[in-house]
């Protein structure tokens, strides 16, 4: 299968790209609010960090089991109908969560949320990569992920404004999903990117043989990001931080995406996405190691901003590399594989970090993050040496 895809550039469809990005930003705000909300509510019910992490893993399980069905669903109902329908389904799931207020039922519903939101990830990224001119892919995807980061950052801020009691936080999440559905309905009528270009994609398994390092990068980014977002309030609480500050810690992580994803995208255009994957991984590990020393000092805000940026930057760089190497059906298979590995990372990360925190204290969180990033760097060097010796 041919993987080189840098062809003649077509005039960018900026309006369509802006609409897709705005829709995904609304979706990101809803997701960003939900992570600290679930953590705080479950802490109030006296649940352990391990159980909180296990609950957070239910959404990634839904991502995993639904990933391979996304291309088939697009062919069956169309990308536009699928995106709008999934956004509405996400809203209905959060209505059910607010109504039940039962952490056991939340396990099942969070799984259903993962299955519902997965097509939103795949659709949005395929559209963005397809709309981005090759020469500007780094900055376009930097803007795309920066605005996604803005949505995630807005979520915890909204939670601070509406509080964690009663229906207001749940209605805020529902509103975010419904806004996503309305915007997608308005802008996605003529968007493409899922068409068959005549190249055999080999499906997710075939893509894994072509780009294992990219998939490991996605897994590591997902595990580190979701562990941090889910368990940072637990980490901060262990150091005596007040509840009002716990959601702000998560906001600081997302703020890094807002201000640094675009510079990272420009650096990827200059130096290449592959070297930037390793640079972001090494920087994330360094931030994780320094975090326990900074958590009770003003320096924690700088550490979290950088950590959030480079941690998600691993995924952004992998996405840019994906768009540079693949197109058409292979790009769809790659995005579905990315969604699958994001789900696997979510299963590995929060429960593992939560269990280690329960056994060894709050240092378990930075230990898991630093270890995962070190694994990615080691595997990338192994692949590099293997290719040279082949």
Q: What is the mean pLDDT of residues 283-293?
A: 94
d(C-alpha 156, C-alpha 181), whole Å: 21
Could you report the per-residue pLDDT of 168-180, keeping only the tens digit for each?
888 888 888 888 8
- 14-389 folds as Growth Hormone; Chain: A; (1.20.1250)
Phi-psi region of 74 (alpha: psi -120 to 50; beta: other; left: phi over 0): alpha
> Domain extents for the chain?
14-389
Reported as a pLDDT band with limits 50, 70 and 90, residue 224 is: very high
What is the per-residue pLDDT for 373?
A: 94
In order, the DSSP letters of 222-242 are HHHHHHHHHHHHHHHHHTT--
d(C-alpha 119, C-alpha 69), whole Å: 9
Could you report the per-residue pLDDT of 350-372, keeping only the tens digit for each?
888 888 998 888 899 999 999 99
d(C-alpha 9, C-alpha 23), whole Å: 25
What token pair was written down for 351? 């429960």
Kindly report the average pLDDT of the chain as a whole number.
82
What is the per-residue pLDDT for 293?
A: 92
CA-derived radius of gyration, the chain = 20
Evaluate whether 371 touches 248 at the Cβ level (below 8 Å): no
* Phi and psi at residue 359, to the nearest 5°: -85, -40
Could you report the per-residue pLDDT of 7-44, keeping only the tens digit for each?
445 555 677 777 777 777 777 777 777 777 878 888 77
Residue 2, pLDDT above cutoff 70: no
Evaluate whether 253 touches 262 at the Cβ level (below 8 Å): no
Reported as a pLDDT band with limits 50, 70 and 90, residue 390 is: low
Q: What share of the chain is helix, strand, coil (3-state, %, to 5)?
A: 85, 0, 15
In the numeric block, the tokens 């991984």 are attached to: 281
Could you report the per-residue pLDDT of 308-353, keeping only the tens digit for each?
899 989 999 999 999 888 877 777 778 888 888 887 887 788 888 8
Q: What is the mean pLDDT of residues 263-275?
A: 91
d(C-alpha 306, C-alpha 253), whole Å: 8
Residue 170, class by beta-carbon neighbours within 10 Å (0-12 exposed, 13-18 middle, 19+ buried)?
buried
Could you report the per-residue pLDDT of 88-142, keeping only the tens digit for each?
998 898 888 888 877 788 888 888 888 888 888 788 888 888 777 777 888 888 8
Q: What is the mean pLDDT of residues 182-206?
A: 66
d(C-alpha 373, C-alpha 273), whole Å: 16
Could you report the per-residue pLDDT of 44-74, keeping only the tens digit for each?
777 777 778 787 778 778 878 887 787 778 7
d(C-alpha 218, C-alpha 224), whole Å: 10
Residue 267, pLDDT above cutoff 80: yes
Closest CA to 229 of 162, 285, 149: 149
Q: How many CB atoms lie within 10 A of CB 108?
A: 14
What SS3 class is residue 210?
helix
Reported as a pLDDT band with limits 50, 70 and 90, residue 161 is: confident
d(C-alpha 337, C-alpha 331), whole Å: 10
Reported as a pLDDT band with limits 50, 70 and 90, residue 299 is: very high
Reported as a pLDDT band with limits 50, 70 and 90, residue 1 is: very low
What is the per-residue pLDDT for 318?
A: 93
Reported as a pLDDT band with limits 50, 70 and 90, residue 79 is: confident
H/E element holding 93?
A: helix 79-100
């Amino acid at each position: 299968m041919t993987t080189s895809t840098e062809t003649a550039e077509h005039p960018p469809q900026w309006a369509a790209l802006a609409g897709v990005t705005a829709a995904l930003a609304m979706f990101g705000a809803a997701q960003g609010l939900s992570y600290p909300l679930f953590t705080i509510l479950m802490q109030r019910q006296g649940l352990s960090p391990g159980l909180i992490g296990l609950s957070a893993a239910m959404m990634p399980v839904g991502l995993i089991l639904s990933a391979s069905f996304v291309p088939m669903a697009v062919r069956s109902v169309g990308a536009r109908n699928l995106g709008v329908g999934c956004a509405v389904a996400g809203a209905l799931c959060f209505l059910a969560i607010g109504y039940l207020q039962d952490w056991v039922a939340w396990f099942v519903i969070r799984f259903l949320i993962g299955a519902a939101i997965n097509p939103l990830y795949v659709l949005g990224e395929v559209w963005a990569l397809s709309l981005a001119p090759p020469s500007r892919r780094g900055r376009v995807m930097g803007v795309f992920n920066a605005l996604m980061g803005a949505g995630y950052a807005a979520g915890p801020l909204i939670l601070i404004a509406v509080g964690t009691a009663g229906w207001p936080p749940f209605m805020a999440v529902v509103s975010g999903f419904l806004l996503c559905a309305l915007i997608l309905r308005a802008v996605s009528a003529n968007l493409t990117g899922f068409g068959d270009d005549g190249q055999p994609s080999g499906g997710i398994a075939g893509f894994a043989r072509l780009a294992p390092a990219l998939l490991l990068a996605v897994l590591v980014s997902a595990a580190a990001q979701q562990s941090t977002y889910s368990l940072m309030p637990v980490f901060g609480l262990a150091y005596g931080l007040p509840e009002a500050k716990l959601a702000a810690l998560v906001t600081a992580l997302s703020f890094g995406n807002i201000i640094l994803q675009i510079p990272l995208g420009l650096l990827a255009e200059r130096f290449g996405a592959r070297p930037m994957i390793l640079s972001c991984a090494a920087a994330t590990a360094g931030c994780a190691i320094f975090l326990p020393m900074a958590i009770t000092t003003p320096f924690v805000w700088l550490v979290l901003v950088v950590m959030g940026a480079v941690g998600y930057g691993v995924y952004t760089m992998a996405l840019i590399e994906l768009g540079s190497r693949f197109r058409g059906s292979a790009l769809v298979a790659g995005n579905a594989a990315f969604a699958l590995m994001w789900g696997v990372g979510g299963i590995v990360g929060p429960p593992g970090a939560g269990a280690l925190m329960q056994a060894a204290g709050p240092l378990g969180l930075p230990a898991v993050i630093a270890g995962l990033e070190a694994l990615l760097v080691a595997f990338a060097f192994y692949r590099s040496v293997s290719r040279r010796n082949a």
